[in-house]
Amino acid sequence: MIITLYGPDAYRRNKKLDQLILSYTEKRANLALEVVDAEDEDGLERARSFLVSSSLFQDTKLVVIKNAISGTDQGQFKKLFKNIVITEESTLIISDDTKLITKDLSFLKDKPNRVQEFANLNNREFVTFIGEEAKARNINIPNDVVEYLARAFLNNSWGVTQELDKLSLLKSSEITKKLIKNSGVNIEGDFFAYISYWFRKPVSERLLNLESLFASKNDAAKIFNILAYQDQSQLRRFADYDVEIKSGKLEYEEALLELALI
Protein backbone atom coordinates (compact mmCIF):
# COMPACT_ATOMS: atom_id res chain seq x y z
CA MET A 1 0.00 0.00 0.00
CA ILE A 2 1.05 3.59 -0.69
CA ILE A 3 -0.15 6.22 1.78
CA THR A 4 0.19 9.80 0.55
CA LEU A 5 0.07 12.72 2.99
CA TYR A 6 0.23 16.03 1.17
CA GLY A 7 -0.52 19.70 1.63
CA PRO A 8 1.08 22.89 2.97
CA ASP A 9 -0.01 22.45 6.61
CA ALA A 10 3.23 20.83 7.73
CA TYR A 11 2.32 20.64 11.43
CA ARG A 12 -0.79 18.51 10.98
CA ARG A 13 0.82 16.48 8.19
CA ASN A 14 3.90 15.64 10.25
CA LYS A 15 1.72 14.83 13.24
CA LYS A 16 -0.19 12.31 11.13
CA LEU A 17 3.08 10.88 9.81
CA ASP A 18 4.39 10.39 13.35
CA GLN A 19 1.14 8.68 14.35
CA LEU A 20 1.38 6.28 11.42
CA ILE A 21 5.01 5.41 12.12
CA LEU A 22 4.23 4.82 15.80
CA SER A 23 1.25 2.65 14.90
CA TYR A 24 3.31 0.50 12.54
CA THR A 25 6.21 0.08 14.94
CA GLU A 26 3.91 -0.87 17.86
CA LYS A 27 1.98 -3.48 15.87
CA ARG A 28 4.90 -5.09 14.02
CA ALA A 29 7.75 -6.34 16.16
CA ASN A 30 10.10 -7.09 13.24
CA LEU A 31 9.44 -3.93 11.28
CA ALA A 32 12.22 -2.57 9.07
CA LEU A 33 11.94 1.22 8.80
CA GLU A 34 13.65 3.39 6.19
CA VAL A 35 13.23 7.19 5.91
CA VAL A 36 14.62 8.96 2.84
CA ASP A 37 14.54 12.42 1.33
CA ALA A 38 13.73 12.36 -2.37
CA GLU A 39 15.86 15.45 -2.86
CA ASP A 40 18.95 13.40 -2.05
CA GLU A 41 20.74 12.22 -5.16
CA ASP A 42 19.94 8.53 -4.65
CA GLY A 43 16.93 8.92 -2.34
CA LEU A 44 14.28 7.44 -4.63
CA GLU A 45 16.52 4.60 -5.78
CA ARG A 46 17.32 3.67 -2.19
CA ALA A 47 13.65 3.69 -1.26
CA ARG A 48 12.70 1.45 -4.17
CA SER A 49 15.55 -0.98 -3.55
CA PHE A 50 14.59 -1.25 0.09
CA LEU A 51 10.97 -2.03 -0.80
CA VAL A 52 11.68 -4.75 -3.37
CA SER A 53 14.60 -6.45 -1.66
CA SER A 54 13.94 -9.60 0.36
CA SER A 55 15.01 -10.07 3.96
CA LEU A 56 15.31 -13.07 6.25
CA PHE A 57 15.09 -11.05 9.43
CA GLN A 58 12.30 -8.49 8.94
CA ASP A 59 8.66 -9.55 8.50
CA THR A 60 7.40 -6.14 7.33
CA LYS A 61 8.83 -2.97 5.80
CA LEU A 62 7.87 0.66 6.11
CA VAL A 63 9.44 3.25 3.83
CA VAL A 64 8.87 7.00 4.31
CA ILE A 65 9.76 9.33 1.44
CA LYS A 66 9.79 13.07 2.04
CA ASN A 67 9.67 15.65 -0.80
CA ALA A 68 8.70 12.92 -3.24
CA ILE A 69 6.30 15.04 -5.30
CA SER A 70 7.26 18.72 -5.24
CA GLY A 71 11.00 18.31 -4.77
CA THR A 72 11.83 15.78 -7.47
CA ASP A 73 11.26 14.84 -11.09
CA GLN A 74 7.72 13.48 -11.08
CA GLY A 75 8.45 11.50 -14.24
CA GLN A 76 11.23 9.67 -12.43
CA PHE A 77 9.02 9.06 -9.43
CA LYS A 78 6.23 7.67 -11.61
CA LYS A 79 8.66 5.41 -13.47
CA LEU A 80 10.08 3.99 -10.25
CA PHE A 81 6.90 3.52 -8.24
CA LYS A 82 3.79 3.32 -10.44
CA ASN A 83 4.16 -0.36 -11.27
CA ILE A 84 6.11 -1.46 -8.23
CA VAL A 85 4.64 -4.50 -6.51
CA ILE A 86 4.11 -3.64 -2.88
CA THR A 87 3.05 -6.65 -0.84
CA GLU A 88 0.90 -6.71 2.28
CA GLU A 89 4.12 -6.78 4.27
CA SER A 90 5.37 -3.51 2.76
CA THR A 91 4.04 0.04 3.08
CA LEU A 92 5.24 3.22 1.43
CA ILE A 93 4.34 6.57 3.02
CA ILE A 94 4.84 9.79 1.08
CA SER A 95 4.90 13.12 2.90
CA ASP A 96 5.02 16.26 0.77
CA ASP A 97 4.03 19.92 0.99
CA THR A 98 2.65 20.06 -2.54
CA LYS A 99 -0.82 21.61 -2.83
CA LEU A 100 -2.11 19.06 -5.34
CA ILE A 101 -1.48 15.66 -6.87
CA THR A 102 -1.01 15.97 -10.63
CA LYS A 103 -2.63 13.75 -13.24
CA ASP A 104 0.67 11.92 -13.77
CA LEU A 105 0.61 10.81 -10.15
CA SER A 106 -3.09 9.90 -10.03
CA PHE A 107 -2.08 6.27 -9.45
CA LEU A 108 -1.43 7.27 -5.85
CA LYS A 109 -5.22 7.48 -5.44
CA ASP A 110 -5.88 3.99 -6.83
CA LYS A 111 -7.12 1.43 -4.31
CA PRO A 112 -5.87 0.10 -1.95
CA ASN A 113 -3.68 3.22 -1.73
CA ARG A 114 -4.77 6.00 0.60
CA VAL A 115 -4.48 9.77 0.20
CA GLN A 116 -4.99 12.44 2.85
CA GLU A 117 -4.75 16.16 2.18
CA PHE A 118 -3.55 18.73 4.71
CA ALA A 119 -4.61 22.04 3.22
CA ASN A 120 -4.37 25.26 5.19
CA LEU A 121 -7.33 25.59 7.53
CA ASN A 122 -9.94 28.27 7.02
CA ASN A 123 -10.60 30.71 9.87
CA ARG A 124 -13.33 28.68 11.55
CA GLU A 125 -11.34 25.46 11.28
CA PHE A 126 -8.24 27.21 12.64
CA VAL A 127 -10.16 28.44 15.69
CA THR A 128 -11.34 24.89 16.33
CA PHE A 129 -7.79 23.58 15.82
CA ILE A 130 -6.38 26.02 18.40
CA GLY A 131 -9.03 25.02 20.91
CA GLU A 132 -8.25 21.31 20.44
CA GLU A 133 -4.49 21.84 20.70
CA ALA A 134 -4.95 23.94 23.84
CA LYS A 135 -7.12 21.22 25.39
CA ALA A 136 -4.49 18.59 24.54
CA ARG A 137 -2.00 20.67 26.56
CA ASN A 138 -4.43 21.13 29.45
CA ILE A 139 -4.60 24.89 28.85
CA ASN A 140 -7.82 26.69 29.66
CA ILE A 141 -8.14 29.50 27.10
CA PRO A 142 -11.23 31.73 26.83
CA ASN A 143 -12.90 31.98 23.43
CA ASP A 144 -11.83 35.60 22.91
CA VAL A 145 -8.16 34.61 23.40
CA VAL A 146 -8.55 31.72 20.96
CA GLU A 147 -10.00 34.16 18.41
CA TYR A 148 -7.10 36.54 19.05
CA LEU A 149 -4.51 33.80 18.50
CA ALA A 150 -6.26 32.80 15.28
CA ARG A 151 -6.01 36.38 13.97
CA ALA A 152 -2.41 36.72 15.11
CA PHE A 153 -1.09 33.53 13.54
CA LEU A 154 -3.17 33.55 10.34
CA ASN A 155 -3.49 29.76 9.93
CA ASN A 156 0.18 29.19 10.84
CA SER A 157 -0.31 25.92 12.73
CA TRP A 158 3.40 25.57 13.56
CA GLY A 159 3.57 29.05 15.03
CA VAL A 160 0.42 28.83 17.13
CA THR A 161 1.29 25.40 18.57
CA GLN A 162 4.71 26.70 19.58
CA GLU A 163 2.96 29.56 21.36
CA LEU A 164 0.65 27.09 23.08
CA ASP A 165 3.68 25.07 24.19
CA LYS A 166 5.08 28.21 25.83
CA LEU A 167 1.73 28.99 27.50
CA SER A 168 1.56 25.45 28.88
CA LEU A 169 4.78 26.14 30.81
CA LEU A 170 3.31 29.16 32.56
CA LYS A 171 0.98 27.05 34.70
CA SER A 172 -1.35 30.04 34.76
CA SER A 173 -4.99 29.45 35.68
CA GLU A 174 -6.08 32.41 33.55
CA ILE A 175 -4.85 33.07 30.02
CA THR A 176 -5.81 36.58 28.93
CA LYS A 177 -5.24 38.71 25.84
CA LYS A 178 -3.05 40.98 27.94
CA LEU A 179 -0.83 38.04 28.86
CA ILE A 180 -0.67 36.97 25.20
CA LYS A 181 0.24 40.49 24.06
CA ASN A 182 2.90 40.82 26.75
CA SER A 183 4.52 37.65 25.42
CA GLY A 184 4.95 39.40 22.06
CA VAL A 185 1.95 38.08 20.12
CA ASN A 186 0.06 40.74 18.18
CA ILE A 187 -2.27 40.68 15.21
CA GLU A 188 -0.96 41.53 11.75
CA GLY A 189 -2.43 45.01 11.96
CA ASP A 190 0.10 45.76 14.68
CA PHE A 191 2.99 45.49 12.20
CA PHE A 192 4.33 48.96 12.91
CA ALA A 193 3.99 48.42 16.65
CA TYR A 194 6.49 45.60 16.28
CA ILE A 195 9.09 47.61 14.38
CA SER A 196 8.65 51.11 15.85
CA TYR A 197 11.66 52.28 17.87
CA TRP A 198 13.38 49.00 16.98
CA PHE A 199 16.87 50.03 18.10
CA ARG A 200 15.63 51.47 21.38
CA LYS A 201 14.09 48.16 22.46
CA PRO A 202 15.96 45.53 24.48
CA VAL A 203 17.21 42.46 22.63
CA SER A 204 14.60 40.21 24.26
CA GLU A 205 11.73 42.39 22.97
CA ARG A 206 13.24 42.64 19.48
CA LEU A 207 13.50 38.85 19.30
CA LEU A 208 9.88 38.39 20.41
CA ASN A 209 8.68 40.99 17.91
CA LEU A 210 10.66 39.37 15.11
CA GLU A 211 9.25 35.95 15.98
CA SER A 212 5.71 37.37 15.86
CA LEU A 213 6.36 39.10 12.54
CA PHE A 214 7.57 35.85 11.01
CA ALA A 215 4.69 33.89 12.53
CA SER A 216 2.26 36.34 10.93
CA LYS A 217 3.95 35.66 7.57
CA ASN A 218 5.22 39.19 7.09
CA ASP A 219 7.66 39.46 4.22
CA ALA A 220 11.24 39.49 5.55
CA ALA A 221 12.45 41.81 2.75
CA LYS A 222 9.69 44.29 3.61
CA ILE A 223 10.67 44.27 7.29
CA PHE A 224 14.34 44.75 6.42
CA ASN A 225 13.73 47.67 4.07
CA ILE A 226 11.44 49.52 6.48
CA LEU A 227 13.84 49.07 9.39
CA ALA A 228 16.72 50.37 7.27
CA TYR A 229 15.30 53.89 7.34
CA GLN A 230 14.23 54.03 10.99
CA ASP A 231 17.61 55.16 12.28
CA GLN A 232 20.06 57.06 10.06
CA SER A 233 22.98 55.88 12.18
CA GLN A 234 22.23 52.30 11.13
CA LEU A 235 22.18 52.87 7.36
CA ARG A 236 25.77 51.72 6.87
CA ARG A 237 25.06 48.51 8.75
CA PHE A 238 21.98 47.81 6.61
CA ALA A 239 23.92 48.58 3.43
CA ASP A 240 26.52 45.97 4.39
CA TYR A 241 23.84 43.40 5.06
CA ASP A 242 22.16 44.28 1.78
CA VAL A 243 25.36 43.47 -0.11
CA GLU A 244 25.61 40.08 1.60
CA ILE A 245 21.97 39.32 0.85
CA LYS A 246 22.25 40.31 -2.80
CA SER A 247 25.39 38.17 -3.15
CA GLY A 248 23.60 35.14 -1.72
CA LYS A 249 25.66 34.93 1.46
CA LEU A 250 22.71 35.74 3.71
CA GLU A 251 18.93 35.45 3.71
CA TYR A 252 16.77 38.37 4.87
CA GLU A 253 15.63 36.30 7.85
CA GLU A 254 19.24 35.70 8.94
CA ALA A 255 20.11 39.38 8.61
CA LEU A 256 17.07 40.38 10.68
CA LEU A 257 18.01 37.93 13.39
CA GLU A 258 21.51 39.39 13.60
CA LEU A 259 20.03 42.89 13.72
CA ALA A 260 17.79 41.84 16.59
CA LEU A 261 20.78 40.59 18.56
CA ILE A 262 23.01 43.68 18.27
pLDDT digits (tens, 9 = 90+) for 97-145: 888 887 878 888 888 889 999 998 988 999 999 999 999 999 888 999 9
Q: What is the pLDDT of residue 186?
A: 66
pLDDT single digits (tens) 83-105: 776 666 788 899 988 888 878 78
Output the pLDDT for position 194.
78
121-185 CATH pick, 1.10.8, 3.40.50, 1.10.3470, 1.10.287:
1.10.8
CA atoms of 140 and 161, how far apart (whole Å): 14
Residues of the chain whose pLDDT is less than 50? none
Do 130 and 146 form a contact (C-beta atoms < 8 A)?
yes
**Three-state SS at 34:** strand
The residues, ordered by sequence, that sit 6+ positions from 40 with a Cβ below 8 Å of its Cβ are 46
All structural domains of the chain with their residue ranges: 2-117, 121-185, 188-262
Q: Running DSSP on this structure, what letter comes out for residue 120? A: P
Question: CA 43, 46, 47, 48 torsion: positive or negative?
Answer: positive
How far apart CA 17 and CA 69 sit, in angstroms, is 16
pLDDT at 134: 92
What is the reported pLDDT for 15?
Answer: 94
- So what's the pLDDT on residue 215? 73
Mention every residue, 6+ apart, whose C-beta is less than 8 A from residue 86.
1, 2, 51, 92
Please report the pLDDT score of residue 104 as a whole number. Answer: 78
CATH code that applies to domain 2-117: 3.40.50.300
Q: What is the pLDDT of residue 251?
A: 92
CA distance 83 to 72: 18
What is the pLDDT at residue 213?
81
61 and 31 in contact (C-beta within 8 Å)?
Answer: yes
Give whole-number Cα distances, 68 to 22, 38, 195, in Å: 21, 5, 39
pTM over 0.85: no
